[in-house]
């Protein structure tokens, strides 16, 4: 038996119209989708525990059950089924909640396997709500050893056992699964077929481990190859050559009211050298909160404008764009640079767009208004994208198309982020980008003091601190997880917290802001806060990427355990942006603070925290919906630096082969299809 991976799942014996419809809704449409739908976990019935040796934790027990009885509690409206499990060494209590059928399920004369958690509950040790299967059914051989069994995630009304049956039907065809990758690294002939077979029909943990290692390598190879090919495509484009004139740059730097850090100098030099090349720069400038990315961008823009070309700076919010425009005017207008702001609320928009099209404006700062069809540039040579992960590929593609349409050249691209990206994530996801790093804070900036406090000590510890900041006329951010009360979470809400603070600090000017507000309303509140007209701003994480408010020096984060390290660090970075000392209070409901809160309390280094966050929570938590194209990695961990290094090495080798022979990918049509999605994640091409 063999099958075509692109065939519909309806071609598989046992998949009828009803099953096909259910699985299609779950995104399982082809044979390939089914093959890569792997077990969630595996049940190892060979590793049973004798009851005389049982310890708290997950256990597999083989024994008989008796003394079953069911009772009902009116106070909590629970049905409780209890019994006793015995083997030839001892006996333990077992309990199920709201599963009354368990009392009728068992034959006291037969043995069963029980899998569940043995822990201390309701005043005694007991096995709680275990899964149970008849031992003779588990022990029966059916083409494979069923004592080590896969457990598939359910999909809608389609149960895990249904997937098990389908895989058994497909089993003879696994040997004919074609290879996906070229023969580099772990991709030996037959490696893919072997890995998928072991993943579905493993007989022990070692087979599961080796299968998942190959499948993780496969994913990483695809991802990294996509970024390498993107870089090659970028090198085929033509960009305007921007001469590096040291005398011009020196004049601008001497005009600054502060001294550049060494990191700023190095990053600026790297960018200016890139701008001299006839191929588009594709560079990521990543710097910790407050590290001075805007100044580096301003120098890059100045050099481009001195060469008689335009620059566009794209920001994610109107108020951030407005703030960028103000700071860039202050820096560049003394040198004759004409700066314009283009956002949704800009007045006289047609006149400004005419100036952009005619070249009467040198530097255009804006939001999505820069991307509309009627916004045309005269000679756009450099596009700067702030907080680049908040923009999708389609939006960046529009900038490329606009420029190529009017000039025949692609713009140089400088992307900026204040979310430090771990090295492994850079290698795997941003292999098509050159990276510059700002890892120093400007002179005079003081580190933020971070403290963990319990909500139980809230009033005595925090309120006096808040009063002292209010007396000093300094402003405060107060972060909450939810907008309103209700729902399963017990986290503090913005609206309730704002009312509470109004009652406690009666003379303070308090406002709240959240993501469901209209953009104009959010912008208005942030403008008032930036202008010092609000003392305490209660907010969700909508202020994570926000305006510069140098007078805000206290940050309070409620339910801090609910956030990742990188996000907490981003929020913390909203304060301490002036010359005054700043504090951040992490409020927790737990008796013992979590590991990540302790890490944050001790470190202000965003790069160190990003690496720690990757290990603790994974890439999705660090980088959110990565450029609106989520990294749906099933098997690979972006903290597995060794596997990433191997995949990077061999993907680079194959990319070089493709560069020499453009038809090299033709032999791998399935691989070509796989990498197209990844190619849409990062770059202009």
85's tokens: 């499990």
Task: List 133's β-bridge partners, or say none.
Answer: 113
Asked if residue 291 lies in contact with residue 439, where contact means CB atoms within 8 angstroms, the answer is: yes
Main-chain phi, psi angles of 631, to 5 degrees: -80, 90
Residues 146-155 have a mean pLDDT of: 83
pLDDT digits (tens, 9 = 90+) for 543-553: 876 678 999 99
For the packed helices 293-306 and 318-332, what is the interaxial angle rounded to 10 degrees? 60
Q: Could you tell me which residues come within 8 angstroms of residue 206 by beta carbon, excluding any fewer than 6 positions away? A: none
Q: What share of the chain in percent tops pLDDT 90?
A: 52
Instruction: Give 457-513 pLDDT, tens digit per residue.
Output: 778 889 999 999 999 999 999 999 888 765 555 568 899 999 999 999 999 999 999
- 109's tokens: 């004369």
Range in 148-152, 265-269, 311-315 with the lowest mean pLDDT: 148-152
Q: Do residues 128 and 95 lie in contact, with contact meaning Cβ atoms separated by under 8 Å?
A: yes
Q: What rounded mean pLDDT belongs to the chain? A: 86
Share of the chain above pLDDT 70, in %: 91
Q: Which of 143-147, 233-237, 310-314, 549-553 has the lowest mean pLDDT?
A: 143-147
Between β-strands 112-121 and 148-151, what pairing exists: parallel, antiparallel or unpaired? unpaired
Higher-scoring residue by pLDDT: 155, 615: 155
H or E element that contains 545: none
Residue 83 has pLDDT above 90, yes or no: yes
The domain segmentation of the chain, as residue ranges, is 9-43+143-204, 47-139, 246-276+292-417, 449-603
For 276-308, b/e burial (b = at least 16 CB within 10 A) is eeeebbbbbbbbbbbbbbbbbbbbbbbbbbbbe
Are 385 and 297 in contact, with CB atoms under 8 Å apart?
no
Residue 362 has a pLDDT of 97
pLDDT digits (tens, 9 = 90+) for 88-111: 999 999 999 999 999 999 999 999
pLDDT in tens, 155-169: 888 888 889 889 999
Angle among Cα 291, 297, 300 to the nearest 5 degrees reads: 135
Residues 395, 343 contacting (CB under 8 angstroms)? no
CA dist 441 and 444 (Å) reads 8
Residue 66 confidence (pLDDT) above 80: yes
Question: If 0-12 CB within 10 Å is exposed, 13-18 middle and 19+ buried, where does residue 666 land?
Answer: exposed
Question: For residue range 257-275, what is the model confidence (pLDDT) as tens digits?
Answer: 889 999 999 999 999 999 9
Instruction: Answer whether residue 122 shows pLDDT above 80.
Output: no
- 235 phi and psi, to 5 degrees? -70, -15
Please name which of 673, 664, 644 lies closest in space to residue 430, comparing C-alpha atoms: 644
Q: Cα torsion at 290, 294, 297, 302 (round to 10°)? A: -140
Can you identify the CATH homologous superfamily of domain 246-276+292-417?
P-loop containing nucleotide triphosphate hydrolases (3.40.50.300)
Q: Which two tokens stand for residue 372?
A: 């509309």
Q: Measured between alpha carbons, how far is 166 from 151 in angstroms, rounded to an integer?
A: 13
Name the pLDDT band for 428 (thresholds 50, 70, 90): low
**What single-letter DSSP state applies at residue 155?**
B
Q: What's the whole-model pTM score?
A: 0.72
Q: Tell me if residue 684 falls in helix, strand or coil.
A: coil
pLDDT tens string 648-685? 999 999 999 999 998 999 999 999 988 887 776 544 44
Q: What is the end-to-end Cα distance of the chain in Å, rounded? A: 42
Rounded to whole angstroms, how far apart are CA atoms 408 and 379? 10
Q: Closest by alpha carbon to 365, among 325, 338, 329, 317?
A: 325
**CATH architecture classification, 449-603:** 3-Layer(aba) Sandwich (3.40)
Same fold, 47-139 and 449-603: no
The CATH class, in words, for 47-139 is mainly beta
Residue 38 has pLDDT above 90, yes or no: yes
Spatial separation of the C-alpha atoms in residues 497 and 216, rounded to whole Å: 44
372 Cβ contact partners less than 8 Å away, ≥ 6 residues apart? none
Burial of 350 (0-12, 13-18, 19+ CB in 10 A): exposed
Tens digits of per-residue pLDDT, 15-30?
999 999 999 998 899 9
Dihedrals phi, psi of 253, to nearest 5 degrees = -65, -40
Q: In terms of Cα–Cα distance, which of 207, 20, 255, 47 is closest to 138?
A: 47
């Amino acid at each position: 038996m063999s099958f075509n991976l692109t065939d519909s799942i309806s071609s598989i014996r046992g998949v009828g119209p009803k099953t096909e419809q259910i699985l299609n809704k779950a995104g399982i449409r082809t044979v390939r989708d089914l093959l890569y739908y792997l077990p969630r976990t595996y049940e190892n019935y060979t590793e049973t525990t004798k009851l005389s040796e049982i310890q708290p934790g997950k256990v597999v027990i083989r024994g008989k059950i008796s003394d079953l009885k069911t009772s009902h509690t009116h106070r909590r409206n629970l049905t409780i089924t209890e019994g006793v499990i015995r083997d030839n060494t001892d006996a333990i209590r077992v309990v199920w909640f709201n599963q009354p059928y368990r009392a009728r399920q068992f034959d006291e004369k037969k043995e069963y396997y029980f899998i569940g958690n043995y822990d201390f509950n309701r005043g005694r040790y007991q096995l709680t709500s275990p899964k149970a299967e008849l031992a003779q059914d588990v022990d029966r051989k059916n083409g494979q050893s069923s004592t080590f069994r896969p457990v598939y995630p359910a999909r809608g009304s389609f149960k895990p056992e249904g997937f098990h049956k389908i895989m058994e039907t497909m089993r003879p065809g696994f040997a004919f699964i074609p290879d996906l990758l070229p023969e580099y690294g772990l991709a030996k002939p037959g490696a893919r077929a072997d890995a998928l077979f072991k993943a579905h029909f493993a007989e022990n943990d070692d087979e599961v481990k080796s299968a998942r290692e190959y499948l993780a390598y496969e994913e990483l190879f695809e991802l990294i190859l996509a970024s390498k090919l993107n870089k090659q495509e970028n090198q085929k484009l033509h960009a305007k050559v921007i001469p590096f004139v040291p005398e011009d740059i020196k004049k601008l730097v001497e005009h600054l009211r502060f001294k550049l850090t060494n990191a700023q100098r190095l990053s600026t030099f790297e960018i200016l050298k890139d701008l001299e090349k006839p191929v588009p720069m594709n560079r990521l400038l990543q710097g910790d909160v407050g590290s001075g990315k805007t100044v580096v961008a301003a120098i890059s823009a100045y050099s481009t404008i001195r060469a008689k070309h335009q620059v566009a700076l794209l920001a994610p919010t109107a108020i951030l764009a407005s703030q960028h425009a103000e700071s860039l005017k202050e820096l560049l207008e003394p040198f004759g640079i004409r700066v314009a702001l283009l956002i949704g609320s800009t007045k006289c928009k047609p006149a400004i767009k005419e100036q952009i099209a005619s070249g009467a404006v040198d530097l255009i700062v804006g939001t999505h208004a820069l991307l509309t069809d009627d916004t045309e540039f005269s000679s756009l040579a450099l596009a700067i994208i702030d907080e680049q992960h908040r923009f999708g590929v389609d939006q960046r593609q529009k900038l490329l198309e606009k420029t190529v349409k009017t000039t025949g050249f692609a713009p140089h691209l400088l992307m900026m982020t204040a979310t430090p990206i771990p090295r492994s994530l850079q290698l795997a996801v941003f292999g098509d980008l050159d990276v510059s790093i700002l890892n120093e804070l400007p002179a005079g900036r003081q580190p933020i003091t971070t403290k963990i406090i319990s909500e139980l000590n809230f009033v005595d510890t925090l309120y006096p601190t808040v009063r002292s900041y209010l007396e000093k006329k300094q402003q405060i951010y107060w972060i909450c997880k939810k907008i309103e009360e209700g729902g399963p979470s017990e986290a503090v809400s913005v609206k309730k917290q704002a009312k509470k603070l109004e009652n406690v600090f009666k003379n303070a000017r308090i406002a709240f802001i959240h993501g469901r507000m209209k953009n104009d309303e959010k912008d208005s509140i942030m403008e008032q806060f930036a202008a010092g007209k609000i003392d305490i701003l209660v907010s969700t994480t909508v202020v994570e990427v926000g305006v510069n408010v140098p007078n805000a020096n206290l940050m309070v984060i409620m339910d801090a355990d609910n956030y990742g390290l990188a996000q907490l660090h981003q929020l913390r970075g909203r304060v301490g942006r002036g010359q005054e000392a700043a504090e951040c209070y992490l409020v927790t409901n737990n008796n013992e603070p979590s590991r990540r809160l302790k890490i944050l309390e001790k470190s202000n280094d965003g790069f160190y925290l990003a690496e720690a966050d990757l290990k603790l929570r994974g890439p999705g938590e660090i980088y959110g919906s990565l450029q609106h194209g989520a990294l749906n990695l099933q098997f690979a961990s972006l903290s597995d630096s060794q596997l990433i290094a191997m995949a990077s090495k061999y993907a680079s080798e194959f990319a070089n082969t493709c560069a020499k022979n453009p038809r090299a990918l033709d032999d791998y049509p399935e691989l070509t299809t796989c990498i197209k999605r990844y190619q849409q994640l990062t770059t202009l091409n």
